[in-house]
Structure 1
Amino acid sequence: MIEKPATKRNILIVDDHPINVDSYKTLLSNIDSNSNADFQLAFDCKEAYHIINGMKNNQLLIDFAFIDINLPPYEDKKIFSGSDLALIIKDFFPKCKIIIISMHKEPLWVNQIYKSINPHGFIAKSDINYKSFPLIFESIEKSETYYSSSIKESQRVMIQKNINWDDNDSKILQFLSEGIKTIQLPDFVPLSLSSIEKRKANIKKQLMLNSGSDKEMIDIAKKLGLL
């Protein structure tokens, strides 16, 4: 009787630093369960989107996706970050295990990604090395959720600060800190300008206890370690 060959698992790796992509691929390839894996590699949102869309159209699955947050955007599709890619993957491939790897570990960033993506793995780049990376993967492979130590600490800080806002509020503050004007925010956040203005006022109330300028709001958020 001829045995049917084992189905290959597909692993997507997206990072704008080629050395990181190569390192992750090498470390994952050395794990026995990935000996037959196909690796899909991308270095920006555009490349990643075309891989994701192509696999969907060809009725192929993505089993694991390792995604950096800061990536060159694909503005034609309004994909501005790894977070946006992760949401597309969750929509196209509900069973895919998503692992976010980022140099950012600020509480606000962590809170936003946790609420919007709720990834199977969430790792600060400063928390991983060649020894820990395979162990982290094997943990996630067993359907365990893995958050690295810095990410857990950021979650704790966010809870302690008891700031009550959602993913869109976090995005508003982040985009403003990056120089995006309020009038431009409807292009980045799925809300009307009037809703954004109301939310911005609420953020100021929580951070500043009164009204103030956008710069003052951003400065306080940075001092609190939220940006």
Structure 2
Amino acid sequence: MSNRLLSVIRAVVIGGSVLATPGLAQDVDPLKMQAEAIIARFDTALRACGVTPPYVPGVIVDSAPSLVSYYLDDRSVHLSRWAEMPEGMQGMLGGWAAAGTLGLTPEQQFAEIFNSLLVPHELGHYVASLDGRLTSSDSWENEVLANRIAIAFWLQDTVPNAPVADRVANFNVFLGQLPSPVPAGEDPHAYFESNYQALSNDASAYGWYQGAFMRTAWAEHEGVTFCDLVKPSAT
């Protein structure tokens, strides 16, 4: 995802809170712990598929420059904290939550999208970086693949959450209301690749595309397992 609407569309966490445990250091970050738990389950799922990664991604909570992303240079998933979001971002999430389908507050909607749902999306980019698909595929294909991996992970995950179909619908409903930036007669995929920089600097346009990536991934999820998608031979 682009660094720009990584700021408007990537978030990570559903519902559950991390309870304090006696004996833990007082500076333990519940948000970081929750993401690390998702990553640990993702790593276990990878290894169950016969994939042995050379490292496990770390977690950095820095709330910038994007809401949620994976960076190759530090091999970490970067997260954002609701309390550190500017007023405009919190206001936008108010509209997103109001349009949402899970009945969440703006803060809960932020957490659901950017601190939970999309964490495995970023790990999808991590997997693609390990087997070469990140550089051999174009931007559209990389985003759709990351969403397909995220969907497949959540469908088999053992931690209770809202049904995956409901989580995807909640993600898409707001983005589906954004105006399409694709000129009449143009192919959305080709237009995205030809105009990537301009689109990535336009929050509304890139948001529309993020919805398109998720809808495409959801339409392709049936009959394809997590293992099918994370193995280097996957197509």
Higher Cα radius of gyration: 1
Shared fold (TM-score, shorter chain, > 0.5): no
Structure showing greater relative contact order (alpha-carbon pairs closer than 8 Å, 6 or more residues apart) = 2
Question: Under a length normalisation based on structure 2, what TM-score does the superposition of the two structures give?
Answer: 0.26
Question: Under a length normalisation based on structure 1, what TM-score does the superposition of the two structures give?
Answer: 0.27
